[in-house]
Amino acid sequence: MNNWQWIVFGEDWGRHPSSTQHLMKSMTRKHQVYWVNSIGLRRPKLTDGKRIIEKLKQLKNATANNFNQNHTLSDVEVKPLEILAPIAFPWPGNYVAYVINRLLLTYQIRAQLARHVADKNLPRILWLSLPTGRCVIDALEEDVVVYYAGDDFSALHGVDHKKVNFEEVELVKCADIIFAASDNIARQFPQDKTYLLPHGVDLKHFSSVCKRPNHYPESALVVGYYGSITRWLNFELITFLARARPDITFLFIGKIEIDDCPIFEYENIIHLVDMPHEELIKYAANWQVSLIPFVDNEQIRACNPLKLREYLAIGHPILSTKYPAVMEFSECIYIAENQQQMLEQLNTALILSEAELTRLKDESREMVKSSTWEARCDYVSALLMQKLTDKDNIACN
């Protein structure tokens, strides 16, 4: 039985594994979830040709994207009841675009809702992961407005910071509840309605034992990373480690989002293209060390990456640069503040005995056993239920 209706504004469904997508996959087991693909965080540029073509393709197939190029959604995959590739103007902070998008999106979403029979008394949750979705507030008869702040947009690359900050400020005023992915992000919002909601993990999936896939490196020692290969990686650190340990293969899985990436000039640094998130465990379960080589900047200091808890569930030694989110798990993670420390920590991780590796795996998984996506959904649902009850009580008085 469906308890609530969810109208969710997020990134393009399936484009990359966001926290909101994981949460809504779990919510679909009990609720009606209607997903609206991204309407953009900046005005398009002449260099955005590929992205514009991708968005046009989505008008025929809302899940078409260039991120997971070799994967299309199957009928058995968990996904929302409806996925909408909206017609809208990507121009944050512009009042004319706000008015036009409000009309366009309201019409499209109502048409989407009308395709399904639902109890008119079902509570309706408007969940906004992107501030630009605020234009539909109060137009969809929602009962609760939720802002999920998964990123610090003021530090995020590829965003029109000033305009998106304006959209976020206006959204925060209207939101009934704000969920923040990290302490740094939570501190930016009103404390009376802001709750910490760290990323979760599919513990069962990322604890799996897998055979080596066909494209796995033929190497006895593999240090692995998966995720976007972009400017938040410390390329100088990576190349330092590759030169210092030529006997190790450094495997990077993900989409390269910068031009002239310098690390793949080294023979012992290998790249595999991005793949469905569910496939990553086949590689990560077999490498010896999981790597998080982030730079130190505002975006990283505010982040709480999905891969952190997934790496812990995998249970291999984790080698990471220092940033706030990783310190919560410092007992189980090899953390370094400079290149030489990173190399020393790597060398230490690679000589652990079988008994030490088993103990580390048990301790790592223990740290995330209560952080499943189902547990996160229960927490969100409990807070929303309380908010709905409070609103009903106010209406009755």
Q: Give all domains of the chain, ordered by start, each with its CATH number.
A: 5-200+372-396 (3.40.50.2000), 203-368 (3.40.50.2000)
Say if CB 335 and CB 325 are below 8 A apart: no
Q: Where are the alpha helices (DSSP H) in the chain?
A: 19-27, 49-57, 95-114, 161-174, 183-186, 203-206, 235-244, 281-284, 298-302, 306-314, 324-327, 339-349, 354-368, 373-396
Residue with the two structure tokens 């990173």? 342
Strands 144-149 and 177-180, by their bridges, are parallel
**In this predicted structure, what is the pLDDT of residue 165?**
93
The residue behind tokens 């079902």 is: 122
Q: What pLDDT is stored for residue 10 in this prediction?
A: 95
Q: How is the beta sheet containing 124-128 ordered, strand by strand? A: 82-84, 32-36, 5-9, 124-128, 144-149, 177-180, 194-196
Q: Quick one: tokens of 217?
A: 């490196």
Q: What pairs with residue 6 in β-bridges?
A: 33, 125
pLDDT at residue 70 in the model: 47
DSSP 76-104: TS---SEEE-------TT-HHHHHHHHHH
Q: How far apart are CA 322 and CA 320, in angstroms?
A: 6
End-to-end CA distance of the chain: 30
In this structure, what token pair is assigned to residue 146? Answer: 């939720």
CA distance 310 to 253: 15
Question: 3-class SS at 253?
Answer: strand
Whether the Cβ atoms of residue 126 and residue 145 lie closer than 8 Å to each other: yes
- How many C-beta atoms surround the C-beta of residue 89 within 10 A? 16
Smallest CA-to-CA distance from 270 within 238, 299, 297, 298 is with 238
Report the distance separating Cα 269 and Cα 296, nearest Å: 22
Residue 157 in tokens:
């690359």
pLDDT in tens for each of the 397 residues of the chain? 458 999 999 999 988 788 999 999 999 989 999 999 999 888 777 666 776 677 767 777 777 776 554 445 544 477 899 999 999 999 899 999 999 999 999 999 999 999 987 777 899 999 999 999 999 999 999 999 999 999 888 777 778 889 999 999 999 999 999 999 999 999 999 999 999 999 999 999 999 999 999 999 999 999 999 999 999 999 999 999 999 999 999 999 998 988 888 899 999 999 999 888 889 999 999 999 999 999 999 889 988 899 999 999 999 999 999 999 999 999 999 999 999 999 999 999 999 999 999 999 999 999 999 999 999 999 999 999 999 999 888 877 6
Q: Do the Cβ atoms of 376 and 200 come closer than 8 Å?
A: yes
Beta bridge partners of residue 9, listed in sequence order: 36, 128
Dihedral angle over CA of 368, 373, 374, 377, nearest 10:
120
Tokens of 278: 């569910």
The b-or-e profile of 223-258 (16+ CB within 10 A means b, else e) is: bbbbbebeebbbeebbbbbbeebeebbbbbbbbbee
